[in-house]
Chain A
Amino acid sequence: MSKKLVVGVYDDEHSLIVAIKHIRAKKIKINNVYTPYPIHGLDHALGMRRSKLPKFTFWVGATGFTSATLMQVGLHTFTLPFNLMNPINVGGKPWGFAGLPAFVPIMFEIMVLSSALSIVAGFLFRSKLFPSLSCNVVDIRATDDKMILVIDLEDVPMDAHAVNQLLKETPATEVYEKEVAL
């Protein structure tokens, strides 16, 4: 199995945005866009939705905060298996809920740790970024200095020639067809 792609190469972000607007105005689906650096407004131009990662992170952070609180209060009050009242009394300092102020630093640290790890894990998982020995990129210049716009022929109700023409109407410096193995 393989699929046919038509690739447009652009020199700068301005021509890329112009091209995206032109193509989207004709209701043609853009498969993907690859750029060497994050372009401000690109997600908007492509009509992408906001990422849900911050919401997810908030809830994981809140869970981390709560569990850190319960862990400290619990461990200062009971011994395992949690049926024996055995408060840790060091220098007469308060334990249980009364000791909350002293537990703030660790509550905070665990909240930070859990939210940082969760957003990164979420990002890698959602974007399918896993270590692999090889990587299929459409055009390796995308990490160097070119903006690459890709249209999948299966997605569009046009033949290769028409898509080629469409991309040539945009300020692309180069248009070519490419077949990739699935």
Chain B
Amino acid sequence: MKKFGIGNMTQHSLRVPLVTGGKTLKDITNDIAGPLEGKPNKLWYIFFVTSALALLLGVISVAYQIATGIGTWGLNKTIGWAFDITNFVFWVGIGHAGTLISAILLLFRQKWRNSINRSAEAMTIFAVICAGIFPGIHLGRPWMFFWFLPHPNGRELWVNFNSPLLWDFFAISTYFTVSLVFWYIGMVPDFGALRDRATGKIRKMAYSLLSLSWTGSAKDWQRHEIVSLVLAAIATPLVLSVHSIVSTDFATSVIPGWHTTIFPPYFVAGAIFSGFAMVITLMIIVNKIFPFDNYITNYHYEQMAKVILLTGMLVGVAYSTEFFIAWFSGNKFELYAFINRALGPYWWAYWSMVSCNVLVPQILWFKKFRTNITILFILSIFVNIGMWFERFVIIVISLHRDYLTSSWAMYYPSWIEIFTLIGSFGLFFTLFLIFTRVAPYIAMSEVKDIAAKLNRKAMKEGAH
């Protein structure tokens, strides 16, 4: 009888291949650049028209609320932040998975990130755009947004650098800029490949412009590698800082349920959790439209599912820690805030949050569920809903019952607010679908790197 075979196997064959189907370099270019050159299929149009209509609804409602004022919302004197800030925190959180995949997993040399990092970064950019819209509208007079910037002015007044809202402005704009630059620099070589394949004149000119006359020379690649590595190294603390700073919007105030030191790590874990769910949702949809099964395999989904399971449990620990500390602190306001979350008038929001974020992801302990695309898709939707409710719970439930019973109130979103949320999803998916048509959805050069190693290994093993 043969003993355990592991000793005989090379380290490589223990690993699951990240690109299947025995792809050559030429196949990779054809597979990834090909869909950009033909007409999109029917499914793409269906998704595009649906999301463009949602976007239109959003544009109309945003125009209406800017013209009329934010009195069109369901806010009142007790609840000054509600739907709008919930959506803002939700969208910023979504973005975090993209940077985690593109930067943190690069530093940890997780090769499976290579075929999903491009789309995950695109998701980051579009999610941050969606996020930026909400505080923008919340200003009431969005054309005055430059008041956030320290600039000499007739009021002889500078911005308040002590305020987390200002930190947020700096954090989000830095995050957006750095992510955009990181994404674009990664795409330059692929734009070069598209330029060299292009047949039409306009197409060739457009990709020449985008590719910044990239030639792929050895020195350029050496610099490109260093730039990617340095950007990853600075994007890693950046992404952790962004949601930490978002959490200080709440944590530095004296509202029971907000004033806790656990917020920064708790928000970061939640952000990664929700972001990975959104990555899975998007990948499954796009994989339906374009045939990328050989590049985004079950293994990729399984890895992402593991991250969801881990961060989901971190979030679960945060929920229970909050409860424990509320009781242990001996602060009756704090304790009341938490009992009110679970048993108060908004109990349904709290329990949807707990069941979607903590209970449902537990099925991912089983490999059968981690590799089942349908189950994963449904689960990712659950997590998205749960994480949206988490922000709603934190913001609305903490605000709606103040220290004074005279200012207790309830909050219900107006139609305008709901339409704006739908519109933000429309914007997100519209941008993403356009992206799948103009830029390589999978980072060609990075996948070629993996495939070349794979082919060389296969040749060596064949030679034995």
Contact = CB atoms under 8 A, between A and B. Distances in A.
Contact of B218 (A46, A103, A132): A46
Which of B192, B223, B235 lies at the interface centre, i.e. has the most chain A CB atoms within 10 A of its CB? B223
Nearest to A149: B218
A153 interface: no
B452 interface: yes
B227 A120 contact: yes
Contacts of B107: none
B205 A129 contact: no
Interface in A75-105: 75-76, 79-80, 86, 88, 90, 93, 99, 102-103, 105
Nearest to A20: B218
Nearest to B192: A143
Contacts of A13: 452, 456
A51 B226 contact: yes
Interface string A96-133: 00010011011011101101110110011011111111
Given A35-B221, A108-B237, A135-B213, 14 more contacts: A34-B217, A37-B449, A42-B218, A51-B226, A71-B150, A75-B158, A79-B156, A88-B157, A88-B158, A90-B160, A109-B238, A127-B223, A129-B220, A145-B24
B215 A137 contact: yes
Contact of B217 (A33, A117, A120): A33
Interface of B: 24-26, 29, 150, 152, 156-164, 166-167, 170-171, 174, 177-178, 181-182, 185, 188-189, 192-193, 195-197, 204-205, 208-227, 230-231, 234-235, 237-238, 241, 245, 248, 444-446, 448-449, 452, 455-456
Which of B159, B212, B225 lies at the interface centre, i.e. has the most chain A CB atoms within 10 A of its CB? B212
Contacts, number: 202
Given A72-B161, A130-B212, A48 B238 contact: no
A113 B178 contact: yes
B234 A116 contact: yes
A57 B223 CA distance: 13
A12 interface: yes
Given A14-B456, A137-B215, A142-B215, A57 B230 contact: yes
Interface of A: 12-14, 32-39, 42-43, 46, 48, 51, 53-54, 57, 61, 71-72, 75-76, 79-80, 86, 88, 90, 93, 99, 102-103, 105-106, 108-110, 112-113, 115-117, 119-120, 123-124, 126-135, 137-138, 140-145
B205 A133 contact: yes
Contacts of A126: 223
Nearest to B170: A109
Contacts of B161: 72, 75-76, 88, 99, 102-103, 106
Nearest to B245: A105
Nearest to A134: B208
Contacts of B241: 105, 108-109, 112
Nearest to A43: B222
Nearest to B193: A143
